[in-house]
Amino acid sequence: MGRRYRSPKRDLGVEETRRKIVEAARDLLLAGGYRTMTVADLARTAGVSPQTVYNTVGGKAAVVKAVYDVLLAGDTAPVPMSERPEFLAMTEAPDRATMLAAYAAHSRRIMVGVGPLLAQLIYAGPASDRVIADLVSTMDAERRTGNTHMVTALRERHGLPDGTSLEDAVDVVWTLTSPEVADRLLRRCGWSAARYEQWLARSLQAILC
């Protein structure tokens, strides 16, 4: 069988269509939430057919996950967060306190980008919707994986406090950087992003330095 030809122009067209769909979905989700967004509404907003949404991104859950991934990373490049320059630069911090402060700044950037979407999903009621529950569970697991990468790098470079296991440290970071905590402080308490970052840095340092 001959090798299938792939047109670079066609690939660019598919990527541009995907970008339009994800951007339209982001706007719809942040404006009205998960429950109010339908694939038909999304297709109209993006200027494509519903079938194009399914073919290019997938069903509603896949669309939401695509929006989350883009908000999390800030772009569509398929590069894990732990391999991105900002994360690698953080691991070069000269001491534990500086590295934790850098991670607080990193977490602030993530929460400013993805926090509003996570709040929509969390407060939509995961317990009553299996699709939302699965999405929130997946995102939470991915966040814990990212936390584990940071704590592992911290342990390897600067060590952990005496008596603190890797698992305990991950538990602390996973809790303090949770979207529920960020949403309470940023949205419900009206904190600025800078104040949230300072609080997070001090909290992480108080336990892990």
Banded model confidence at residue 113, pLDDT cuts 50, 70, 90: confident
Identify whether the C-beta of residue 64 lies closer than 8 Å to the C-beta of residue 72: no
pLDDT confidence of residue 161? 96
Determine the average pLDDT of the residues in 1-28: 72
Architecture of domain 8-60: Orthogonal Bundle (1.10)
Determine the average pLDDT of the residues in 120-124: 69
Of the two residues 203 and 61, the one the predictor is more confident about is: 203
Tell me the per-residue pLDDT of 130-140, one tens digit each, with 9 for 90 and over. 777 888 888 88
pLDDT confidence of residue 1? 46
Express as a percent the part of the chain with pLDDT over 70. 86
Q: At what angle do helices 130-158 and 60-73 cross, to 10 degrees?
A: 30
Of the two residues 141 and 117, the one the predictor is more confident about is: 141
Determine the average pLDDT of the residues in 16-42: 86
99 pLDDT more than 90: yes
Considering the entire predicted model, what is its pTM?
A: 0.78
Two structure tokens written together for 55: 């073919």
Identify whether the C-beta of residue 107 lies closer than 8 Å to the C-beta of residue 90: no
Domain residue ranges in the chain = 8-60, 79-208
The secondary structure of residue 75, as a DSSP letter, is S
Rounded to 5°, angle at Cα 164 from 159 and 169 = 85
Count Cα neighbours of 100 within 13 Å in the Cβ-side half-sphere: 26
Of the two residues 43 and 82, the one the predictor is more confident about is: 43
